[in-house]
Amino acid sequence: MLIQEELSVQKKLEILSDAAKYDVACTSSGVDRKGKAGTLGNTENAGICHSFSADGRCISLLKILFTNQCIYDCKYCINRSSNDVPRTSFTPEEVCQLTIQFYRRNYIEGLFLSSGILHSPDYTMDLIYQTLKKLREEYHFHGYIHVKAIPGADPVLIEKTGFLADRMSINLELPTAEGLKKLAPGKSRSKILTPMKQIQRGITANRFELMEYKKAPSFVPAGQSTQMIVGATPENDFQMMMVAEALYQKYDLKRVFYSAFVPVNQDINLPALPGGPPLLREHRLYQADWLMRFYGFQAGELLSEDRPNFNTLLDPKCDWALRHLELFPVEVNLADYFTLLRVPGMGVKSAKRIIAARKNGPLDFDALKRIGVVLKRAIYFITCSGKMMYPVKINEDYICSHLIGDEKKKVWDISSSGTYRQISLFDTINVPTLTAAGGL
């Protein structure tokens, strides 16, 4: 192992941000905190993106590792102890300076501090705690801080850190215990879930405390999040979604992030992925995640044991709607909010606007377009004052073939059913296997 002692801050930043980049969470949302006169920093509930890197991901926090030295040897991780990469470490002072100076120039929304495990979980957690304490108390920084809880660290340290941070996260990494055992031998499921439970309890207790004493310090006010790697182990989408759902329900998580597996190490236990990282699959998982968090869907509605993977050509909501045509078309001027939310092409904002606007008179398709409904998808599923926009057959094949272009449909036919058939003009395309086989 190559430990570099005398590195410039720039070199350290390069190494330690490069090492942190595979962590997806870069959100700065979930807490609204006004600034304090004379000090630096506030937070906005919606979060603010400050820049976008070449891969199109937002840069909102200064995402760094405290150190990339690590005692664990997780197969998928660039910082695994058996890797020969330059190792270095920040000092608390350097992290504070970088955060403050970047923040003043409006480069970032706050700090995201993670770390490799140096010596022991307790030792590392304490280093993180000391850094946050310095930043909050000596530098009077009031901006957003997202920090990792180190699995296996002393609960007291985690609690103390939680009172300084806005969001805490512990990465689940792999959805099943077997996967974790295989790829991350140093970690175990219970080691990860114990602090997660602790933080959840802390947040709930703190909520009651805040109700009684307004001045009580807040504990992890922006909630906790976690991350799962997609495509490193053979779990299917259904398993991923069930795990995510359980995390939202049992652990009160704010967010579950999905990270398409990028092979950075060569290992016999890791998949090869010649087509690049599974980005489409990651995208579908995020779409479904949104459906669960904001649209009132359950994982079991979107996927099942027999259809364990998402359709690659249709988004999960269209896919669901096509399998439930008995519920459509929906009358826009009468349907309740939750029914509207389930119509493809309508989102939370447009559904709310529809509810507000139709109190003042009926809506027609023109008005829906203005309101922000994506008519391209919605016209197959809605009526306005009893009329559809065009004469549409409420028929799965018909709607499906319109929702996805002919070209894409061909690909889908081939990949999903395996029964390839030449498509000719004047031929109604009948896809009997549409419901049975989803996706790739």
Partner 1 sequence: MKTVYLCEDSVEGILSGVYTAWTSRKGHDNVKLKVMGAEDTMELFCQYEEVKADPVSAEKVAKAIKEKISSEAYTVVYKSALSMDLDRADKIYRFLIYGFHIGSRITSMLQQPEVFEIFQMCRHIDDERHLLTGFVRFVEMEGNLLVSRIGPKNDVVVLLAPHFADRMSGESWVIYDDNRKKAVLHPANRPWYLLDLISPEWESKLKKASEEDEYEKLFQCFRKSVSIKERENPVCQRSHMPLRYRPYMPEFSHGLKDT
Residues that bind partner 1 (CB under 8 A): 9-10, 13-15, 17-18, 20-22, 34-42, 44, 46, 48-60, 62-63, 98, 101-102, 104-107, 109, 260, 262, 276-277, 279, 353, 356-357, 359-361, 363-364, 367, 370-371
How far apart are CB 260 and partner 1 at their closest, in Å? 8
Spatial CA neighbour of 145 closest among 171, 163, 114, 167? 167
How far apart are CB 317 and partner 1 at their closest, in Å? 21
Q: At what angle do helices 189-212 and 155-162 cross, to 10 degrees?
A: 40
365 to each of 30, 65, 70, 388, 404, how far by Cα in Å?
35, 51, 59, 9, 22
CB 202 within 8 A of CB 162: yes
Of 98 and 302, CB closest to partner 1:
98
Of 374 and 429, CB closest to partner 1:
374
Of 108 and 434, CB closest to partner 1:
108
CB 53 within 8 A of CB 85: no
How far apart are CB 356 and partner 1 at their closest, in Å? 4
Of 276 and 391, CB closest to partner 1:
276
How far apart are CB 255 and partner 1 at their closest, in Å? 19
CB 170 within 8 A of CB 151: yes
Of 16 and 292, CB closest to partner 1:
16
Of 77 and 98, CB closest to partner 1:
98
CB 111 within 8 A of CB 62: yes
Spatial CA neighbour of 187 closest among 203, 166, 172? 172
Residue 91 CB: number of other CB atoms within 10 A? 14
Residue 193 to residue 141: CA distance in whole angstroms: 30
Of 277 and 308, CB closest to partner 1:
277
How far apart are CB 75 and partner 1 at their closest, in Å? 18
Residue 375 to residue 257: CA distance in whole angstroms: 30
How far apart are CB 267 and partner 1 at their closest, in Å? 17
How far apart are CB 21 and partner 1 at their closest, in Å? 5
Three-class SS of residue 227? Answer: strand
Copy the structure tokens of residue 83.
């890797």
